[in-house]
Amino acid sequence: MLVLRSFWRHKELTAMLLVALVFFGLFRYGPMYGLIIAFKNFNISDGILGSPWAGLEHFRRLIADPNFYRIFRNTLIINLYYVLLVFPAPIVLAVMLNEVRHRWFQRLVQTTTYLPHFISWVIISGLFIYFLSPSAGVVNYIIQWFGGDPIFFMGEAGYFRPVLVVSMLLKETGWNSIIFFAALSAIDPQLYEAATVDGAKRWQRILHITLPSLLPTITIMFILNLGGFMSMNFEQVYNFLNPLNFETGDVFDTYVYRVGLEQFQYSYTAAIGMFRSVIGLALVLLANYAARRLSGGEQGLW
């Protein structure tokens, strides 16, 4: 009752919040409620509530489905590539930028490398496909110039993940370096001066001053990255995907889209989506717990 009276006293604020909560309820919690069709045999005419229950049937089917293992494996492997190859790149870029003494050159590199972040995956992928084309692509032109044979990058499953990694590197390295670069500008310049006076070489200063100062930021970003291990950028993967590289490139969302929306297997693909979301939630919670433990309760997502 006390709470109700408190709401009434702040009725204007309450009204504001309620309006906003309607949208969170409808478009964020609404789909969560719709997940119950993963436990039903959904058909359009009966709707979400009216469709008959199916228990765990769809989850049993999922465990026996080789396609499920394929998308699960691809998601994990691509994410592993990202952690190993894409994650360190912005750190290296930030450290390099920090060593640049000409302000205009620093700005030039930053302005250019941030730009691809703002361009859509449709265009980035379209350009990659164009530049990698075996007939007219510049990349194959260079390969041939060195005497090699042209490679059909988008037609061979083995090239899918490397293309994904390189495109992600080009699009996001600059942008992701901002947070590390900002951490670097907080370092006391006296540390560098003192080290120089003591005769420290450039690489020694990087090794003993720059990198240790970055370590807290790197740790937190790394752990938070692990929390996203089950997710994949749909727009990136979808635009590079074709039947020739399903084997190495098909992931959760692209599979759910193809089988669920195009072949109308709503309940089954809802079960697949739910599996992904639940594991993803567990990973984020775990990552946040780890981040808190490591930073002594200082940092974490919340």
Smallest gap from residue 116 Cβ to another protein (A): 6
Pick 67 or 120: Cβ nearer another protein: 120
148 Rama sector, left if φ>0, alpha if ψ -120 to 50, beta otherwise:
beta
Contact call for residues 105 and 96 (beta carbons, < 8 A): no
Q: How far is the CB of 197 from another protein (least distance, A)?
A: 9
State in angstroms the smallest separation of the CB of 297 from another protein.
11
- As measured in angstroms, the least distance from the Cβ of 156 to another protein is 18
Between 63 and 261, whose beta carbon lies closer to another protein?
261
* Minimum separation from the CB atom of position 158 to another protein (A): 20
User: Distance between CA 71 and CA 94 in Å, rounded?
Assistant: 34
Q: State which residue, 79 or 113, has the beta carbon closest to another protein.
A: 113
143-175 burial code (b ≥16 CB/10 A, e <16): eeeeeeeebebbeeeebbbebbbebbbebbbbb
Rounded distance between C-alpha atoms, residue 28 and residue 166, angstroms: 33
Q: Which one, of 90, 179, 158, 163, lies nearest residue 131 by Cα? A: 163
Neighbours of 295 (CB within 10 A): 14
Please answer whether residues 125 and 167 qualify as being in contact, where contact means their C-beta atoms are separated by less than 8 angstroms: yes
Burial of 283 (0-12, 13-18, 19+ CB in 10 A): middle
Rounded to an integer, what distance in angstroms lies between the CA atom of residue 127 and that of residue 158?
20
Q: How far is the CB of 29 from another protein (least distance, A)?
A: 7
Report the distance separating Cα 27 and Cα 95, nearest Å.
Answer: 41
State phi, psi for 24 to the nearest 5 degrees. Answer: -65, -40
Nearer to another protein, 163 or 274 (CB): 274
**What minimum distance in Å lies between the beta carbon of 55 and another protein?**
18
Q: Which is nearer to another protein, 239 or 248 (CB)?
A: 239
Minimum gap (Å) between residue 131 Cβ and another protein: 7
> For residues 125 and 89, what is the distance between their CA atoms, to the nearest angstrom?
20
